[in-house]
Structure 1
Amino acid sequence: MSETLPLWLPSEKRINESNLKKFEDLIYQTEGLLFDSYSDMHKWSVDKPDQFWKLIWNFAEVRYSKYFNQVVLNQNQFSGARWFEGSRLNFAENLLRNRSEKTAIVSILENGERVAVSYKDLFIKVAKCAHGLRALGLKKDDRVAGFVTNSVEAVIAMLATTSIGAIWSSCSPDFGVNGVLDRFGQIKPKVLFACRDYFYNGKHIDCLQRLRKIQNNISSLESTIIFSPLNTLKENSLNLEKTMTFELLCENSEVSIDFEQLPFNHPLYIMYSSGTTGAPKCIVHSAGGALLQHLKEHRLHTNIKSDDVVFYFSTCGWMMWNWLVSVLASEATILLYDGSPFHPKSTALLDIADQEKVSIFGVSAKYISAIEKSGLKPIHSHKLDKIHTILSTGSPLTHGGFEYIYKSFSPDIQLSSISGGTDILSAFVAGNPYMPVCSGEIQCKTLGMDVQIWSDMGDSIIEEKGELVCVNPFPSAPIYFWNDPGDKKYHKAYFEKFDNVWCQGDYGEITSNGGIVIYGRSDATLNPGGVRIGTAEIYRQVEKFDQIVDAVCVGQLWEDDTRVILFVVVRAGEYLDDNLIAEIKTLIRSEATPRHVPAKIIQVEDIPRTISGKVVEIAVRSLIHGEDIKNSDALANPESLEYFKDLEQLKI
């Protein structure tokens, strides 16, 4: 990939006032090291993990009751690495370090209802919730499940749970019953927090019927705590067993918290794989690993400071919710939004960003593409004068998406495309207040993560496409998978391709700029004529057509080879005719290569997505080959699967 000119350059003032500069100064003070570039700092961070991670701990002022004996044991073995042995801390205590009247959380519902909670009040609310949970018999290592909206109650429940040393696991209420049971049924929770109802896209959605089925099918449940963001709750109308309201749970006079002091590697969260190819994997993350990685990413890579208002559009079923809530450890304000990003109008999130003076605005790449296609130009319609950083993740952000931000938002915003995953609850590659932003490229490898691109032969390559790997252990690797004797599923997920090297399953490239491009998931790459192609390379061209609102690209086995099939959803009033098909093929041929050109372009009504909004390429590929989808409940729109079955166009 040839070198590209930057879309944005940080000013000297921005660099010098950044947290990363303060951290670099700390390195000089403690280690006597000066770096010529970020690349040099990154090399030191992966070559000297003991010094680096110790400095992160000290720089972020981790709250602890017992200091560690050693930063990392067995640092050359992923499965054997042990972090911060001997230390004792509590995750929730670190997020509740501020006890002032400063605003901790602003919560906004789709209907406009707004709640603000100070750090002082948040602490007291968590104290009352934790006291109530202890009274129910909750103790260290018990599991607490959350079938919850993105709300203040969800944050309080998580913090109360983890203050006790119990393990939190959540999904959003847009999951179907089977999707919830596939997840929570595996981990046997003792307590369930659940929302009674919620608003989405202008509709009032009742959860009570699903909640009854969930309760009846999880035998481990001893208590259910229910709340209603819409204040429609009447306890005597619930007719649910072993159930109380959130208000009743917290109806006590407790104002202090007994934070359970636990090892660094004590389990904190159970997260889930998408579950589109079978039962979801239950990924267990440690309290210390999540805390330290999030502090590193928030302070150094996102430059979060205490006066920031940080927003990320997410649900409680996506890891970005966990990432956002950890911002409390940096004493900033977090903004929660529950509802459709496009209701009551397409500017809903931007209106809120203006209203709440958001400074760090996080969304999915799909959202950026959607507002670009709608013709929205926030530079003319909104102030957004407080935003200094825009974050994008969930899927690769196209060149057009990068350029749209700088033309239609502001020329002086740091656009941080980030990529990591639920697997590590953090990022491998992310933003950087020191470096330029180049179109289509993620700025840097994150500190402490020895990220490389490898060929199938296991060679490190630059300016070539290959597998994204991490060759050194890091604190936020899962501590194990739930119900995985001998760590067999764990090993298969990350270490089957390259021994003792983390293989993330992303197909990418390191550019001559030192930036990173993600082309898509490795298991969704196309292979026509034996040439490997990332689906993002095709999407990048398709998104240039205003007539097309969504697309999915897969490979079909055909005549001892693979042919590229592109499915598209067209805008209302448009149609995929021969002229549009020809235009799409011509653009892909000229901007990519002839091998990228789809053999077939087929119009469909909808495209399957996970509940967190990601296109499910593997499911589409399975369907066109006549294979069944094992777990359609993991999808937001399972009815869309019907559009890909037994298509006549794919038989010729």
Structure 2
Amino acid sequence: MRPAFTGAELAATGLGKYVAWLADHGRRFDTYHDLWAWSVDDLEDFWASLWDFYDVAGSRGNCVLADRAMPGASWFPTARLNYAESVLGGVDDPSRVAIVGRSQTRAPVELTFGELTDQVRRARAAFQSLGVRKGDRVVGYLPNVPEAVVAMLATASLGATWACCPPEFGAKSVIDRLAQLEPTLLIAVSGYTYGTKEVDRTAELQTIRAALPTVRDVVGLTYGIHTVPDAHVWEWLLEEQSTEVPLEFEPVSFDHPLWTLFSSGTTGLPKAVVHSHGGITLEHLKLHGLHLDTRDGDRVLLMTTTGWTVWNCLVSALMVGASIVVTDGNPLHPDLEEPWRTVAETGVTLFGTSPGYLMACRNESMRPGDTFDLSAVRTLGVTGAVLPAEAYDWLYDVLPADVYLNSMSGGTDICSNFVSGNPWVPVYRGELSAPTLGADVAAFDDDGNEVTDQVGELVIRAPMPSMPVAFWNDNDMERYLAAYFDIYPGIWRHGDWVTVSDRQSVVIQGRSDATLNRGGVRIGTAEFYNLIEALPEVEDSLVVHLEDLTGGPGELMLFVQLAEGHEMDADTVKALKTIIRRELSPRHVPDLVAAVPAVPRTLTGKKLETPIKKILAGAPPERVVSPGSVTNYDAIEAYRIAALKTV
């Protein structure tokens, strides 16, 4: 739909400059696919070249890949660096704006790079005064505001490890995640404004604090009318720090934990996915500089909360000299046009959003390119779900003709993308243009054979530096191995069904495991079960998510086997949805709640989540499930019947 960049247009991109730099150093490539093949065949040279091209602060050492086995690849074993230094050290003019903050809780704010650096310096000193040291964990219960960025960078500068949940998460969701880390310090808000509604989270915060016994100190951020009782005050704590204390960056090993992101919790507690300073630094330089074409002086807005991996990617745009826009509140208040309005008002060059939002705009016949001044926008990034082919047609009709549409797919697991567009390949309608550099992407059949132009499992055949260092408290790597290496030994299986074409473009077909992808955020079935099945009226339950092929949020279905003496009436449905909204989050609220006689399970006791999903999507039960291999086989028909109704 849009041809690849060529000539001077390509030369002006970050990718074009990198290719020219490689040529100056004796490596010439005629096509992107030649460059990609080199990047996965010669891992050592490729990843070393990124370090050198971006002149990463720190010492690289002489060894790039000491062990390429998966899992357990050992990257840059003698390197020393700090992610925060790469974020804060790349801009010569401290008066340039670094962060633009838009919130429905308070007035707009801006931080220059100089002010950001000073706040990180003060926060670092404050954290040290509270006893935070290298290896400690600092956690946040924070919205997407500049203070969250400051707190994360200050934590990283000390060699401590960061993790964060947004305040929209209920207490149980937060505790299930943060308690695993045994944090030392908690930074939090006690409420926020969502559109025109004031949301008080004081009770939830009190519950969270009580469930984190290792927390020695709590720092409260005054946010609008909301203050945190019995806590240090963020503003005062930073103000108290001496102006003489320098900002320093603890040199850490390449694989030293930087932050922890969380999986959906499909098989129990959410997996605490640990990412490293070195892996994220190199991967995000590649992501922004080569694939998203984020340039020095650009402005980036990615629609996200602090609980999604996209937030971490947003912060990393600072590494290439771009400024970022952080937003908090109801993104669709006062109307569906608000994100486009913010893009226009803040001069955004890279706007990242979801297929669901774009399809909602399309369904309302919006023409944002006519309504708003989007002349600054150079790239539209789309991730979180599959972007339908018809959305490509609409976008190229209603946006400026030179906007580059980059549809991407990756995950929390690598905090980046496996497949994406880039300036050197065309935009293909309904497809993701190519594997990213350094990502040895393929589709495998059940027997581990590579397949082309047919549906297969998305696999990665070579290690990447941003693959998780570990899962927290998974000392024997049992959960890590089960998550990615249970099917194809030594090959990363990501859990997506994909079709890879003979030109290497990719179509994502949906999740191949039981994880629920809701609005771009993975939701784990275990989170439902742990909450719902603790209720006296619930005997058992099963939840599935059916993707919407037109790009909408899909349908989240909760099937409940009621305890004896209870019935599924309107009050029961309301009660279930209310507790899910309160204890988990609004994203978890199912579209359909239905009563079923029993929950089918395998003979080892596992619920038939994926088989039920396939059956509800239209597959004949006899082709999906063998009656002799499951319990309660006769109950399956009740799911098909219930799915046709809405309670």
TM-score band by shorter chain is 0.7 to 0.9
Q: Distance in 2 between matches of 1:646 and 1:150?
A: 43
Equivalence for 1:284: 274
Specify which of 90, 99, 114 is matched with residue 82 of structure 2.
90
Residue 615 of structure 1: CA displacement?
A: 9.9
Q: Once the two structures are superposed, what CA deviation does each residue of 1:516-564 show, in whole Å capped at 9, x if it has no partner?
A: 11011012699xxxxxxxx999733x56xxxxx75338899xxxxxxxx
Q: Does 1:249 align with 2:237?
A: yes
In the other structure, the counterpart of 2:67 is 74
Give the SS at the match of 2:473.
Answer: coil
1:229-258 CA-to-partner distances (Å, cap 9, x unmatched) read 32543xxxx543xx2110122121235212
**1:290-439, aligned counterparts within 5 Å?**
290-439=280-429
The 1-side partners of 2:387 and 2:162 are apart by 31
The one-letter amino acid paired with 1:39 is H
The answer to whether the Cα contact below 8 Å between 2:545 and 2:554 also exists between their aligned partners in 1 is: no
Letter in 1 for 2:27: L
Distance, in Å, in 2 between the alignment partners of 1:374 and 1:57 is 45
Match of 2:565 in 1: none
Cα gap change, 1:492/1:525 in structure 2, threshold over 3 Å: closer, same or farther? closer
Percent of pairs with identical residues: 34
Specify every segment of 5 or more residues in structure 2 that has no aligned partner in the other structure, as ranges. Answer: 517-543, 560-576, 607-635
1:626 maps to a residue whose letter is V
Aligned to 1:33: 27
Alpha-carbon separation, structure 2, partners of 1:9 and 1:439: 13
Aligned-partner SS, 1:24: helix
Work out whether 1:626 is the aligned partner of 2:599: yes
Instruction: Summarize the Cα distance change of 1:195–1:537 in structure 2 as closer, same or farther, 3 Å threshold.
Output: closer
- Find the partner of 2:555 among 552, 557, 574: 552
CA drift of 1:453 comes to 0.8
Partner of 1:43: 37
Superposed, 1:157-306 pairs within 5 Å as 157-230=151-224, 232-233=226-227, 238-240=228-230, 243-250=231-238, 251-254=240-243, 256-306=246-296
Q: In 2, Cα distance between the equivalents of 1:499 and 1:621? A: 39
Q: 1:398 to 1:86 in 2, by over 3 A?
A: same
Matched, 1:500 2:503: no
Match for 1:113 among 89, 107, 113?
107
Contact 2:106/2:223 (<8 A) preserved:
no
Q: 1:501 to 1:227 in 2, by over 3 A?
A: same
In 1: Cα distance, 2:595 partner to 2:643 partner: 15
TM-score (norm 2): 0.81
What secondary structure, in the 3-state scheme, does the structure 2 residue paired with 1:310 have? strand
Q: Which residue number in structure 1 is paired with residue 522 of structure 2?
A: none
SS in 2 for 1:120: helix
Aligned residue identity for 1:422: T
Counterpart contact for 1:289–1:476, Cα < 8 Å: yes
Q: 1:43: how far off?
A: 0.3
Decide whether the 8 Å contact of 2:141 with 2:186 is kept in 1.
yes
Aligned residue for 1:137?
A: 131
Provide the rounded CA distance (Å) in 2 between the counterparts of 1:26 and 1:615.
50
Q: Alpha carbons of 1:623 and 1:463: their partners in 2 closer, same or farther (altered >3 Å)?
A: farther
How far apart are residue 277 of structure 1 and its match? 4.6
How many residues matched? 561
1:220 to 1:613, Cα distance in 2 relative to 1, 3 A: same
**2:9 corresponds to which letter in structure 1?**
R
Q: Is 1:444 the counterpart of 2:453 in the alignment?
A: no
Q: Are 1:462 and 2:491 an aligned pair?
A: no
Report the CA distance shift for 1:111/1:249 in structure 2 as closer, same or farther (over 3 A).
closer
Contact map agreement 2:272 2:472 (CA 8 A) in 1: yes
**Which residue number corresponds to residue 599 of structure 1?**
none
CA drift at 1:368: 1.0
Match of 2:116 among 98, 103, 122: 122
Aligned with residue 146 of structure 2, among 147, 152, 162: 152
Distance 1:651 1:333 in 2: 46
SS of the residue aligned with 1:258? coil
- Larger mean CA deviation between 367-376 and 349-358 belongs to 367-376
1:580 matched residue in structure 2: none
> What is the RMSD of the two structures over their aligned residues, measured on CA atoms?
3.1
Output the CA distance in 1 between the equivalents of 2:6 and 2:40.
27
Alpha-carbon offset, residue 309 of structure 1: 0.3
Q: 1:395·1:614 contact (CA, 8 Å) conserved in 2?
A: no
Separation of aligned partners in 2, 1:624 and 1:473: 46
Decide whether aligned partners of structure 1 residues 79 and 371 sit closer, same or farther in structure 2, where only a CA change above 3 A counts: same
CA shift at 1:275, angstroms? Answer: 1.9
Shift of 1:170: 0.5
What secondary structure, in the 3-state scheme, does the structure 1 residue paired with 2:417 have?
Answer: strand
**For the structure 1 residues 555 and 41, does the alpha-carbon distance in structure 2 shift closer, same or farther, using more than 3 Å as the test?**
farther
Aligned-residue offset at 1:276: 4.6
**Pairwise CA distance, 1:398:** 0.9
- Consecutive unaligned residues of structure 1, counting only runs of 5 or more, are 1-5, 527-534, 544-548, 557-604, 631-643
Is 2:22 aligned against 1:19? no
Distance 2:351 2:181 in 1: 33
Deviations 1:395-430 (A, max 9, x none): 111112222211122332111111110011111011
Which residue number corresponds to residue 472 of structure 1? 462
- Per the alignment, residue 536 of structure 2 pairs with none
Pair 1:17–1:194, CA change in 2 (3 A)? same
Deviation at 1:198, TM superposition (A): 1.1
Query: Conserved in 2, the CA contact under 8 Å of 1:197 and 1:228?
Result: no
User: 1:539 maps to what in 2?
Assistant: 548
Secondary structure in structure 2 of the residue aligned to 1:104: strand
Relative distance call for 1:33 and 1:71 in structure 2 (3 A) is same
| CA spacing shift, 1:620–1:281, aligned 2, 3 Å | farther
Query: Do the aligned partners of residues 171 and 538 (structure 1) sit closer, same or farther apart at CA in structure 2, a change above 3 Å counting?
Result: closer
Distance 1:320 1:212 in 2: 28
Q: 2: distance between equivalents of 1:190 and 1:645?
A: 50
On the 8 A contact 1:265/1:287 being kept in 2, the answer is yes
Does the C-alpha gap of structure 1 residues 38 and 651 become closer, same or farther in structure 2, counting only changes over 3 Å? closer
Q: Aligned equivalents of 2:445 and 2:286: distance in 1?
A: 29
Matched AA of 1:95: V
* Aligned mates of 1:414, 1:397 — CA distance in 2: 15
User: Do the aligned residues in 1 keep the contact of 2:60 with 2:80 (CA within 8 Å)?
Assistant: yes
1:18–1:249 Cα change, 3 Å:
same
Inter-CA distance 68–214: structure 2 relative to 1 (3 Å threshold)? same
Query: 2 CA distance for matches of 1:293 and 1:61?
Result: 14
How far, CA to CA, are the matches of 1:462 and 1:648 in structure 2?
33
Letter in 1 for 2:196: G
Aligned CA distance change for structure 1 residues 347 and 101 (closer, same or farther; 3 Å): same
Decide whether the 8 Å contact of 2:87 with 2:318 is kept in 1. yes
Whether the aligned pair in 1 keeps the contact of 2:100 and 2:110 (CA below 8 Å) is yes
Aligned partners of 1:151, 1:339: CA distance in 2, in Å? 10
Q: Which residue does 2:642 correspond to in 1?
A: 650
Which deviates further from its counterpart, 474-483 or 271-280?
271-280
Deviation, 1:33, is: 2.5
* 1:506 and 1:522 in contact (8 A); partners too: yes
